[in-house]
Chains A and B, each alone.
Chain A
C-alpha cells in the first residue's frame, strides 16, 4: 500500500472526492435553501445556485424566528441557550472530574476504591436509558426549565474522570514527593504541577464535550417546556413541525446553518485537539 504505482494513484482521489461531495451535499443544499425565499422553495424547483434573499433570511431568523407559517423563538435566544448549556456542561464536567480524579489518585482515604468504582459503573448507563426516572428526580427537585436542570444531570462523567486518572497516574511519585519536600501543599501542587501537566488533555476534552453538550436532544426536549429556554437543536425541530411543503423552509434552513456553525467551527479549527480528544476519551 505504501508503493502506489502511477497508474492507480487516481483511484483513491476519485473515491475520496466523491465521498466529500456526497457528504457535503446536504449542507450545500441547506446553504442554498437559506438564500431563497419561501415561495421559490415550495414550488419544488429551487435552483442549485444561491438566490438573493440571504441577508433578510438570516436577519429574520435571528431576530424573530417566525415567518408567515411558523411562530417560534428568535434564533438569537436559542443560540445563547445552546451556548450556555454547552459551555456549562463542558467546563463543569472537566472541573468536577479533574478534582475527583485528583483525589482518587493522590490521596489516601477510606473507601477510595469504592468511590472510584461507583463513578466507574456510571459509564454503563447513558442518560437515554434512565431518562424517565431521571426526569422524575429533576421534576421533584423543581429543576424543570432551569439551566441547572438542563446541565447538572449531564455533568457527571465517568469518561472524563477515567481519562484524568490515566494522566495523573503517569505523574511520577517522585514529583509529588519533591513538591511536598519543597513545602507545596496539596492545593499548590494541584495548581502548579498537575494542572499544567494536563493542559493538553483539558483542551482535547473540552472540544469533545462542547459538541456533546451542544448536540444534546432528548434531555432538553424533556426539561424545557418553556419556549424561551429551548436550545437551538430543539427549536429547529419545532420549526419543522408537520413538515408541510408550505412552510418557511428558508428560515428553517438558515436556522439549521446557524445551528451547526459553532460545533463545526470548533471541530475544524481545533482539529488537532478534536482528534486527540476522540481517541483518548474512547480508549
Chain B
C-alpha cells in the first residue's frame, strides 16, 4: 500500500483534529476539565454576540483588505513597468523577488527596528517632527505597521505572478490596441481584463495570506495589542485556545474559519472551471 503513509498522516493530523474541533465546538468544559456538557450551538451563539469577536472580525477585514489591495496594487505597478520591454527585467525580477523568502516574524523584526519609537530611524524622526509615534500605545499606528510589514513580504509573490501573466499576453494584441487607443486606455480596457484570471487567483491567495500567514508578523510586532487593535481572527483562536484555555470557544472559532476557507476554495475552483470554458 503506497498511499498508506500519506493517508495515515492525513487521518491523524487532518481529519481527527478537524473532527475534534467540531466535537469540542458543541461542548463546554469547566476550567479543570472535570465536567463536560453538551451545549449544542451555545458556543457559536456566545462568540457571534461577543463584542471582542466582532471587533476582531472588523480588524481582520480592514487588515486583509488593506494588505491585499496594497500588495497587489504595488506589485501590478512594478510588473507593468518591468514588462515595458526595458532592458534588465531579469535583474529587477531577482532584486524584487527575495522578500518572499523572509519569514514573517523576521520581517516583523526588521520593521520593528526601523519604526521603533526611540531607536528606529523613521520612528525617531516622526517623533522629532512632533508626531506622536508609538505603535505600542496607538492602535491605529500598530495596525498600520502590521499592514506595512505584511505587504512588504507579499509584494514579491504578486509581482512574479503579474509579470508572468503580462508576459503571457500576446504582444500583437497590445500593439494593435495601443495604436487604436491611448496607452492608459489600452491598459484598462485590454490588458487588465486579460489579466483577470491572475488577479482573481491573487485575490484569493492574498486573502488567505492575510488571514493566516501573518500570524508571525502580528505576534512578533504587536502581540495583538494595543487593546486588541491588531487582533485578527486567527490570532484570537490562538489567544483563546492557548492562553485562555477556552477549548470550546476556540474550537467554535476554528470551525467558523474552516467554513470560511472551504467556501473560498470552492469559489476558486468554480471560477477556474468557468475560465476553462469561455
Contacts and interface: CB of A to CB of B under 8 A. Distances in A.
Interface of A: 1-4, 9, 11-13, 15-16, 19-20, 23-27, 29-30, 33, 41-44, 46, 48, 96-97, 99-100, 102-104, 107, 115, 118-119, 122-126, 128-138, 152-153, 155-156, 161, 211, 214-215, 217-218, 221-222, 233-234, 236-237, 240, 243, 245, 249, 252-253, 256, 259-260, 263-264, 266-268, 271, 274-275, 278-279, 282
B132 interface: no
A23 B258 CA distance: 34
A275 B156 CA distance: 11
B95 interface: yes
Interface stretch (B35-43, B51-59, B81-89): B81-89
B49 interface: no
8 contacts: A13-B86, A26-B113, A99-B5, A128-B237, A131-B238, A132-B21, A136-B17, A218-B215
B66 interface: no
Contacts of B98: 264, 267-268
B26 to A, nearest CB: 13
Contacts of A15: 77-78, 81
Nearest to B98: A264
Contact of B205 (A245, A263, A271, A282): A282
A234 B95 CA distance: 27
B150 interface: no
B215 to A, nearest CB: 5
A31 to B, nearest CB: 10
B203 interface: no
Nearest to B23: A133
Contacts of A4: 84-86
Contact of B7 (A26, A119, A134, A138): A119
B215 A217 contact: yes
B164 A137 contact: no
Interface residues of B, number: 95
Given A1-B175, A25-B114, A137-B16, 15 more contacts: A3-B85, A9-B84, A13-B88, A16-B96, A19-B96, A23-B95, A29-B114, A33-B113, A100-B2, A118-B15, A215-B101, A221-B219, A236-B109, A237-B105, A243-B136
Given A129-B254, A133-B17, A133-B20, A118 B10 contact: yes
Nearest to B258: A129
Nearest to B187: A1
A125 B251 CA distance: 14
Contacts of B11: 118
B6 A217 contact: no
Given A23-B99, A129-B212, A282-B201, A237 B152 contact: no
B82 A100 contact: no
5 cross-chain pairs, A with B, having the tightest CB-CB distances, nearest first: A103-B2, A133-B17, A217-B216, A215-B103, A132-B241
A233 B17 contact: no
B143 interface: no
B68 interface: no
A240 B220 contact: yes
Contacts of A107: 2
B101 A260 contact: yes
